Amino acid sequence: MIITIDGPTASGKSSVAKALAEQLGWYYLNTGMLYRAVTYLLLNNYKYTLENLTNVAPEDLAACTDHSRFTYHYDPVDGVEIVYDDVTITQYLKDASIDQAVCLISPQPHLREAMCEFQRQLAQQYDVVTDGRDTGSVVFPHAQYKFFLTASLDVRAQRWQKDQKKRGHDYTLQECKERIAYRDAKDQERGHSPLVIPQGGIVIDNSTLDFAQTIEVFLKYIQE
């Protein structure tokens, strides 16, 4: 069984997906963390910079996504953990520098194909709730439930601002809006697996809903 939740930046899809996985006792697959991890590895282990990140050598990409070196773990107590060459890198992946860099690398077809394969292999082992940009449209088009979670730019910018504050970064609301709009545009405009509402997807706008109300709406569809 698979439930997919796609949507733009800061729509709350990761928190919702994690909460649903916990309630259902399923595995949680956060696909944004996979793309963040590869971005981190290219910048840190393979010494790429923002200038040449759009032009990654295929062998470096293959090394970053090599299943024997790159692993994803989830358990309800410790959450998501990504390990590369036996080193946990999860704690670096939500950094604002990765936020801005990831959409430079995420359009690359070789990376997307490798990540797609990675996600499908995980889903063979577990019942999965997954979130991302293309999980319902490309990776799991036959999922039992395909959701698209969104909210207004203002609301998403406020959420992102709050989240960044907790991480020690102070951005004005205008800066938050610009950063989010930049990432959304990059994700929507790319040629390979752009952010779209998946065919048959259930659209939920949570601009005026709090977290508990959002979960309630999802469960209503799932229990039906």
Output the smallest distance, CB 116 to ligand C5P, in A.
Answer: 9
Question: Which positions ≥6 away from 180 have C-beta within 8 Å?
Answer: 8, 9, 10, 153, 156, 157, 160
Comparing CB distances to ligand C5P, the nearer of 35 and 145 is: 35
Output the smallest distance, CB 67 to ligand C5P, in A.
Answer: 18
Neighbour-count burial of 77, counting CB atoms closer than 10 A to its CB (0-12 exposed, 13-18 middle, 19+ buried) = exposed
Question: Which positions ≥6 away from 168 have C-beta within 8 Å?
Answer: none
Comparing CB distances to ligand C5P, the nearer of 132 and 218 is: 132
Output the smallest distance, CB 4 to ligand C5P, in A.
Answer: 9
> What sign does the dihedral 80-82-87-92 (CA atoms) show?
negative
Q: Do 136 and 148 form a contact (C-beta atoms < 8 A)?
A: yes
Interface residues with ligand C5P (CB under 6 A) are 9, 31-32, 35-36, 102-103, 106, 132-135, 183, 187
Question: Which positions ≥6 away from 210 have C-beta within 8 Å?
Answer: none
Output the smallest distance, CB 152 to ligand C5P, in A.
Answer: 17
Output the smallest distance, CB 32 to ligand C5P, in A.
Answer: 2
Comparing CB distances to ligand C5P, the nearer of 147 and 224 is: 147
Separation of alpha carbons 11 and 150, rounded Å: 5
Comparing CB distances to ligand C5P, the nearer of 199 and 223 is: 199
Output the smallest distance, CB 224 to ligand C5P, in A.
Answer: 26
Residue labelled with tokens 């949507």:
7
Question: Which positions ≥6 away from 218 have C-beta within 8 Å?
Answer: 16, 20, 147, 204
